[in-house]
Amino acid sequence: MTKPHPFDEATRLFQSEPGVWSGASTEAYANMVGSFGGIASATLLNAVVSDERRIGHPVSLTVNFCAGVGEGGFDIRSTLHRTGKYTQHWSLELTQEEKLCSTATVVCGVRGEVFSHQPAVMPDVQPAEDCAPLPSMGFLNWVDRYTFRFVEGAMPGTNRAAGALASARTVAWVNDNPARPLDHLSLAALSDSFFLRLFHVRGNMEPMGSVTLTTHFLATPDELEEQGSKPLLGIADSTRFHANFHDQQIQLWGSNGQVLATGTQVAWYKQ
């Protein structure tokens, strides 16, 4: 029996009754405090994707991070609010020993072959194979679960002038490490795989964290299948850092030039 991919291990859920699931944190995606938020997001989405009541495919996911998910087991409860002809609405809560860690809402949509048009154009950048992968940082497990190849706005150096601010924009190729065929769950996690923009701008680690994360899935399952385990091109940027909060917008592009997902988050910072 092949050992499952760490991502599948980390997002695995067991259903005890309809809408009641349990899972457990894994060391492979450990963050500074608790688990990587992208794994919590993907696991919450898994409680919808794995539910036999689901129609269509994920279209939108919003996760609100109330508290970090620590070591050990956790529970997810989902509520199916409404199933229409075209869309389905869910709410979820992730708790650990009665403590609420995350709330989430998911919209699924029934997708067909209708009008298709993509005004956005993929940036013309160096191919992934020409970009050096970020070496392991050796202290954040979840970072080692991705291969980052920076095209623009690499990891902030520590040798910049004191107080000098860098660009908030990053363009990078990213994929699971070890490689894993793309699906909606890994796309949800990838949408949170960008380092917080404040870290890039100021270049130092200070207290900060994601507060709320929204991902819109623009790709259909056939496109995710076609993408397979090839690197995605990711773009992240921020418009404003002000009064303890900043926004962060992302795009994830497939290697065929299709927008697979777009998203936004708000991060908190202390000083």
Q: Are 63 and 213 in contact (CB under 8 A)?
A: yes
Token output for 188:
């949800």
The residues in 23-82 that bind its own copies, with binding defined as CB under 8 A, are 59-60, 62, 64, 66-67, 81-82
Stretch in the footprint of its own copies (CB under 8 A) among 139-147, 160-168, 177-185, 187-195: 160-168
Token output for 70:
């620590």
What length does the chain have?
271
Residue 263 binds to its own copies (criterion: CB under 8 A) = yes
Q: Are 74 and 66 in contact (CB under 8 A)?
A: no
How far is residue 45's CA from residue 135's CA, in Å, rounded to a whole number? 30
Q: Are 217 and 261 in contact (CB under 8 A)?
A: yes
Stretch in the footprint of its own copies (CB under 8 A) among 123-131, 138-146, 174-182, 244-252: 244-252
Token output for 212:
């709320």
- Could you please report the per-residue DSSP string of 204-268? S--SEEEEEEEEEE-S-HHHHHHHTTSPEEEEEE-S-EETTEEEEEEEEE-TTS-EEEEEEEEEE
Give me the least distance between CB of 145 and its own copies, in Å please.
26
Residue 157 binds to its own copies (criterion: CB under 8 A) = no
Angle in degrees, CA 210, 214, 217, rounded to 5: 140
Matching residue, tokens 């107080």: 163
The residues in 81-110 that bind its own copies, with binding defined as CB under 8 A, are 81-82, 84, 86-87, 89, 91, 100, 103, 105, 107, 109-110
Give me the least distance between CB of 3 and its own copies, in Å please.
35
- Nearer to its own copies by Cβ, of 106 and 172: the residue is 106
Among 51, 176, 192, 237, binds its own copies (CB under 8 A): 237
Residue 269 binds to its own copies (criterion: CB under 8 A) = yes
Of 187, 173, 197, 179, nearest in space to 246 by CA: 197
Residue 251 binds to its own copies (criterion: CB under 8 A) = yes
Residue 113 binds to its own copies (criterion: CB under 8 A) = yes
Give me the least distance between CB of 169 and its own copies, in Å please.
8
Residue 169 binds to its own copies (criterion: CB under 8 A) = yes
Q: Are 77 and 92 in contact (CB under 8 A)?
A: yes
- Nearer to its own copies by Cβ, of 26 and 60: the residue is 60
* Binding site residues, its own copies, CB under 8 A: 59-60, 62, 64, 66-67, 81-82, 84, 86-87, 89, 91, 100, 103, 105, 107, 109-120, 165, 167-169, 198, 201-202, 211-212, 214, 216, 218-220, 237-247, 249, 251, 258-259, 262-264, 266, 268-271
